[in-house]
Amino acid sequence: MVRTRNRNDRRRSGLVISKRRFVASVTIPLLLYESLGIFVLGWAFVLMFFDYSPGRLGGPILGLGGSNPFVGLRNFVEMFSGDSVQATLFRTSLRNTIIFAVAVLPLNLAITLPLAWLLESIGNRFKSLYRTIYFLPVLTSSVGVALIWMSMYDPQAGWINAIIRAFGGTPVAWLSDPRAGFANVSIAMWAVIIAYLWQDYGYNMVIFIAALQGVPHELREAALIDGANSWQAFTRITLPLIRPTMLFVCVMTMLSSFQVFDVIQVMTNGGPNNQTQVLMLDIYKSAFRYQNMGWAAAESFVLFLVVMGVTLFQMRVLRTDWEY
Amino acid sequence: MKAKILALLIVLTLVLTACGSKGESAAPEGTIVLRFWVHTNNAFIAGYEAAIAAYEAEHPNVDIQLENFDYELYLQTLQTAMPAGEEADILQLFGTWTSQYYERLTPVPAEVMTVEQAQQTFYAAPIGGFIVDGVLYGMPQEFNMEYGGVLVNKTLYEAAGLTYPPQWRTMDDVIADAQALTQVDETGMMSVAGFHFACADPTAFSFLAGIKQRGGDYWNADHTAFTFNTPEARAQLQFMVDMVNAGVVDPVVFNDSTNFVIDAFFQGKVGIGYIGSWAIALGQTNYPDFADEWDYFYLPPIQGDPVFVADSGWGLTVSPNSQHQDIAWDFVRFVTANPEIAAQWNIASGTIPAMPAVAESPEIAAAMPWVPKALAILPYGEYLGNMPDRDLVVYEIIYPHVLNALQGVETVDQALQAIDTEANSTFR
Amino acid sequence: MAANTLSTPLAQPRKPFGWSRFLGRFLAYFILTLGLSFTLLPFVMMILSSFKTNLEVLRVPPTFWPENFTLENYLKIFNDPQLPLLRFYGNSAFVAVFNVTSTLFTSSLIGYMFAKFEFPGKKILFGWFLTMMMIPTQITMIPSYLILAKLGLINSLWGLVIFSAVDAFGIFMMRQFCETLPNELFDAARIDGAGEWQIYWRIVLPQLGAPLATLGILGFMFNWNAYLWPMIVLQKIEVRTLPIILTWFNSTHTGQGALVMAATVLIIMPILFVFLFFQRWIVQGFTMTGFK
């Protein structure tokens, strides 16, 4: 009895040691690697309080100080109250980013939810073909998407103006006319929004389809039998049941549209007259085109706060929904 | 099944990668390898390759390896490579940029060229930017003249029944020709622009030249601040807006982002296209099938002398981190200050020589017939001036606001006010 | 309320196939097909344009079918010494395969550790990964770039790889799956004398096959299509990945619409077929993880 317990103990302690060894052999390299991550984060945090450009020599530690002076909160003060070109561009970009995100979300839902619902309702072998095709743009590189749409938007030889001409309308310089607009949003912004939506709707569609498949058929059938029409069945039965998915889709769509970059950088590079200059593009240009990295770090921090705020807000809504 | 295909893909990938990444062949013993960075421009690169071949023929122990980067990325590449000491031995440098990062450059050794010698050898505009606080940091290769030069489409001229070659004594003559050249399609969209001047460099530099020709200046007396809100600037901007109103160009359909002047001209969509002569080589390369006849001319001044400002254009310098400074500087001198090589490079790249001696030479006149036309104007060129950030001022401040005024998005006064405020805010 | 209505007898039997039902179906197909054409049309335009001449794509109004069907654009690209497409495919593949392999390894290993082991500092470490998941890349982009510059890894494909070895999201996902694995499985192996690494390799990894495949394909797609970060890091032409080569090609061949469309076809289509093949997994991954 005593001997067995000893042996068990020994074996257990042997196990503990080998487990510890295993944990150590994983965590020690991991911690080393993650310390690089901490260093990066710390640097990002420090950078926004400096007027830093890698072209200047600066001080001895990371090139900070000297000709890259510490400026405290000046970057942030400048952003919201300055009249320099960077400050004006930042405010324009912030406004454009919000316009973009606010326009994309409802349009996306207005396209994806009905289409997903229709697709789910037809239920036959065409379904997977339809879904595959709707999904194609999601799989396509956004640079390719941007180039395809640029050729379609070409003011002279583009297809969109050709269609407008065929119907006797006035052609539009979609990507370069700063004066044209619709609903107080410039036409170039609408043009990039359409291209972005085109690439993106397949993604939310498949998520909605998955959610709709989870809605028990009997519930809907029962409602229909009770004399509800399809619309009532949809709004009263289906919609409440897929609400968590709805909210989730809202968060994800919002987040990715706040960080939009690829399509806009290729199609307009922010033009015309900065009407499609969004925050990520402004950060990229400040940091890498104009080497104004301290300023760009401060801008990214603001974008981070915005994104964080939206996420936290939506998570709160999500959580209350889960409880219910 | 899928796993197998995935495995196959991975194997295929690794094979492809292995094939793709075969290293360059090693240089033979005793060879001095110099790396040489330039921005991507096929005509320029052809010129450099010829110069390298000539140098290597004279110095068989030197191997110069050319690497090129997109213009947009080139500055970024330089500024991040320099702190790490990773940059090439020989660097192509845009003269006007020098003042932005001379801290990381090395002065031209006196035995290669002194400041005084340089000022005598080169035109004022090309050398100006390479000198910061009286120290020379590089050698110019081209007179980067964005002012005044225009491509003229002879075929369109004759179709419109105009006299060719154009006889311009004043800008009014240019505008009259342009109005006759402009075509508008049945939907009201401009299909041929008579006088396309709405791209970034032409707008910015015709704006600055106009200020100068009207007797004004955009610098204050000691070059510490900009003065863009002046009567001369207002008159010039109003003049440019009036040209748009006269119907010579629709700046909404013709600008930097759509119908860039080189592309539009070589697609037959422009009668008179305002662009530096460097565009000629680029257009010929990109549009070999263009059938219309064309030539290159210079515009008359707004008034008085054809005073204008120019950047210090592309030139060469040597990295302070180079192991072979002497050979690198020798190569730079060979390319920039040897009249024969410089002329060859200018012809290959289609640029105006930085040295008066070369610009006036018969071989340049034979290869580039527009250069003799420019000779009368070149001495009036002044250096743009060292700006805290030249690209920011020209591309994010002057051009956008001038374009706004042309497009009617801002009034002339609003545009000038904005340029003045924003440009001055670049001095920190 | 619901119970109440259910208990009432049916007022009338369900209508058999009627006109309204037929009309509804017709309308559904009509709308779906309309959306389908809107989705497909840009692809069709791209492919058709790539077979036109550069002059034909400039014509107003544009032609639909290529008037003179030509392979000239494709031949031009294949014969362009500045555009060794295979090399760029290789670059993209290297980055994608390397990143996917390393994140699959680290995610499964660390996820397993978080799920099945107790050790001091576990909560802190876990919290750190939670934070990393919340921090968007644009915050770390600038210092990461400066570090790469200091290390001399700008213009190196390794620069695209070193910051991506550990993926917080993958760790979460794998931890989730590992928690569902029964402890008896491991204990039995331990009694049989298996070492901890052997257990990870022989028991944990095979169990994680499906989620790893999903994560891997999503990661591959993400890496393959990545644009901003590779654009910043890869400045030299020969080391570039496909999306950046495509924008570079576009900017150096402005005004040659047909040629650019041919390049676009060559760069986006082949991988599109591969993705289509794995589409089921990708869709599954999206719905399971909610990330793209």
Which tens digit of pLDDT belongs to each residue from C49-71?
Answer: 999 998 888 887 888 899 989 99
Q: By the 8 A CB rule, do B382 and B145 touch? A: no
Share of chain C above pLDDT 90, in %: 40
Query: Among A115, A226, A303, whose Cβ lies nearest the Cβ of C138?
Result: A303
Examine residue A206 and state whether it is found in any structural domain, yes or no: yes
Share of chain B above pLDDT 70, in %: 93
Would you state the pLDDT for residue A15? 77
Q: In chain C, what residues touch B19 (CB-CB under 8 Å)?
A: 86, 90
Q: Are residues B185 and B249 in the same domain?
A: yes
Would you state the pLDDT for residue A9? 64
Examine residue B12 and state whether it is found in any structural domain, yes or no: no
Q: Which is higher by pLDDT, A127 or C170?
A: C170
CB-count burial class (<10 Å; 0-12, 13-18, 19+) for C133: middle
CB-count burial class (<10 Å; 0-12, 13-18, 19+) for A42: exposed
Helices (H), A154-275: 159-166, 187-213, 217-225, 230-233, 239-241, 243-258, 262-267
Examine residue B75 and state whether it is found in any structural domain, yes or no: yes
Fold classification of C85-252 (topology level): MetI-like fold (1.10.3720)
- Asked if the model's pLDDT at residue A322 lies above 60, the reply is no
Rounded to the nearest angstrom, the minimum Cα separation between B227 and chain A is: 15
Would you state the pLDDT for residue C55? 84
Q: Are residues B209 and B319 in the same domain?
A: no
Averaged pLDDT, B324-331: 94
Domain CATH number, residue A272: 1.10.3720.10
Q: Are residues B170 and B291 in the same domain?
A: yes
CA-CA-CA-CA torsion for B182, B183, B187, B189, nearest 10 degrees?
A: -40
Examine residue A55 and state whether it is found in any structural domain, yes or no: no
pLDDT confidence band for B14 (50 / 70 / 90)? very low
| Pairwise CA distance, residues B39 & C65, whole Å | 39
Nearest to A48 by CA among A68, A31, A28: A68
Q: Are residues A212 and A118 in the same domain?
A: yes
pLDDT confidence band for A19 (50 / 70 / 90)? confident
- Asked if the model's pLDDT at residue B24 lies above 70, the reply is no
Averaged pLDDT, C188-211: 89
Residue A87's alpha-carbon distances to A81, A218, A283, C141, in angstroms, are 8, 58, 12, 21
- Asked if the model's pLDDT at residue C149 lies above 80, the reply is yes
pLDDT confidence band for A4 (50 / 70 / 90)? low
DSSP string, B241-256: HHHHHTTS--TTTSSS
Which residue of A176, A266, A285 is the best one to mutate when testing the B interface, meaning the one whose CB has the most B CBs within 10 A? A176
Q: Are residues B296 and B189 in the same domain?
A: yes
Averaged pLDDT, C68-80: 92
Q: Are residues B76 and B102 in the same domain?
A: yes
| pLDDT tens-digit series, residues C125-148 | 998 888 888 788 888 999 999 998
Q: Are residues A166 and A294 in the same domain?
A: yes
| Pairwise CA distance, residues B353 & B277, whole Å | 11
C86–B20 CB contact, under 8 Å: yes
- Asked if the model's pLDDT at residue A125 lies above 80, the reply is no
Q: In chain B, what residues touch A84 (CB-CB under 8 Å)?
A: 422, 425-426
Would you state the pLDDT for residue C3? 39
pLDDT confidence band for A227 (50 / 70 / 90)? confident
Averaged pLDDT, A176-190: 90
* CB of C269 less than 8 A from some CB of B: no
Count of alpha carbons within 13 angstroms of residue B142, beta-carbon side? 27
Would you state the pLDDT for residue C289? 61
Q: In what order do the strands lie in the sheet with B270-274?
A: B183-184, B190-196, B270-274, B149-153, B294-298
B255–A165 CB contact, under 8 Å: no
pLDDT confidence band for C279 (50 / 70 / 90)? confident
Would you state the pLDDT for residue A7? 58
| Pairwise CA distance, residues A129 & B163, whole Å | 63
> Which ipTM score applies to this complex?
0.88
| Pairwise CA distance, residues B124 & B143, whole Å | 9
B253–A291 CB contact, under 8 Å: no
Count of alpha carbons within 13 angstroms of residue B309, beta-carbon side? 25
Look over chain A and give the mean of its residue pLDDT values, rounded to a whole number: 87
pLDDT confidence band for A319 (50 / 70 / 90)? low
**Total number of domains constituting chain B:** 2
Q: Which is higher by pLDDT, B18 or A117?
A: A117
Examine residue B231 and state whether it is found in any structural domain, yes or no: yes
Q: Which is higher by pLDDT, A8 or A230?
A: A230
- Give the tokens for residue A49: 């309080």
Would you state the pLDDT for residue A5? 54
Would you state the pLDDT for residue A55? 75
* CB of C147 less than 8 A from some CB of B: no
Count of alpha carbons within 13 angstroms of residue C110, beta-carbon side? 26
Q: Are residues A178 and A283 in the same domain?
A: yes
pLDDT confidence band for C4 (50 / 70 / 90)? very low
Q: Are residues A157 and A247 in the same domain?
A: yes
- Asked if the model's pLDDT at residue A168 lies above 90, the reply is no
Would you state the pLDDT for residue B29? 62
| Pairwise CA distance, residues B174 & A288, whole Å | 40
Q: In chain C, what residues touch A22 (CB-CB under 8 Å)?
A: 113, 117, 196-197
Averaged pLDDT, C173-177: 89
Q: Which letter does DSSP use for residue B26 in this model? A: P
Share of chain B above pLDDT 90, in %: 72
Q: Are residues B91 and B39 in the same domain?
A: yes
pLDDT confidence band for B28 (50 / 70 / 90)? low
B36 torsion bin: left (phi>0), alpha (psi -120 to 50), beta (else) = beta
Identify the domain containing residue B333 by its residue range.
34-145+311-378
Q: How many CB atoms are closer than 10 A to CB A96? A: 25
Domain CATH number, residue B335: 3.40.190.10
pLDDT confidence band for B200 (50 / 70 / 90)? very high
**Total number of domains constituting chain A:** 2
Collapsing DSSP states into helix, strand and coil, what is residue B52?
helix
Q: By the 8 A CB rule, do A267 and A149 touch? A: yes
Q: Are residues B160 and B86 in the same domain?
A: no
C90–B13 CB contact, under 8 Å: yes
Identify the domain containing residue A128 by its residue range.
86-323
Q: In chain B, what residues touch C97 (CB-CB under 8 Å)?
A: 10, 13-14
| pLDDT tens-digit series, residues B404-428 | 999 999 999 999 999 999 999 888 6
- Asked if the model's pLDDT at residue B2 lies above 80, the reply is no
| Pairwise CA distance, residues C142 & A304, whole Å | 14
Would you state the pLDDT for residue B346? 93
| pLDDT tens-digit series, residues C104-128 | 999 999 999 999 999 998 999 998 8
DSSP string, chain C: -HHHHHHSPPSSPPP-S-HHHHHHHHHHHHHHHHHHHHHHHHHHHHHHHHTS-TTGGG-SSPPSS-SS---HHHHHHHT-TT--HHHHHHHHHHHHHHHHHHHHHHHHHHHHHHHH---TTHHHHHHHHHHHHHS-HHHHHHHHHHHHHHHT-TT-GGGGTGGGS--HHHHHHHHHHHHTS-HHHHHHHHHTT--HHHIIIIIIHHHTHHHHHHHHHHHHHHHHH--HHHHHH--SGGG--HHHHHHHHHHHSTT-HHHHHHHHHHHHHHHHHHHHHTHHHHHHHHHHH---
Minimal-distance CA residue of chain B relative to C233: B77
Which residue of A49, A90, A151 is the best one to mutate when testing the C interface, meaning the one whose CB has the most C CBs within 10 A? A151
A85–B252 CB contact, under 8 Å: no
* CB of A137 less than 8 A from some CB of C: yes
**Residue B33 is inside which H or E element, if any?**
strand B32-39
Averaged pLDDT, C5-19: 49
| pLDDT tens-digit series, residues B264-320 | 999 999 999 999 988 888 888 788 888 999 999 999 999 999 999 999 999 999 999
A159–C10 CB contact, under 8 Å: no
* CB of C20 less than 8 A from some CB of B: no
The least confident of B56-60, B67-71, B306-310 is B67-71
Count of alpha carbons within 13 angstroms of residue C50, beta-carbon side? 21
Q: Which is higher by pLDDT, B130 or A243?
A: B130
C264–A134 CB contact, under 8 Å: no
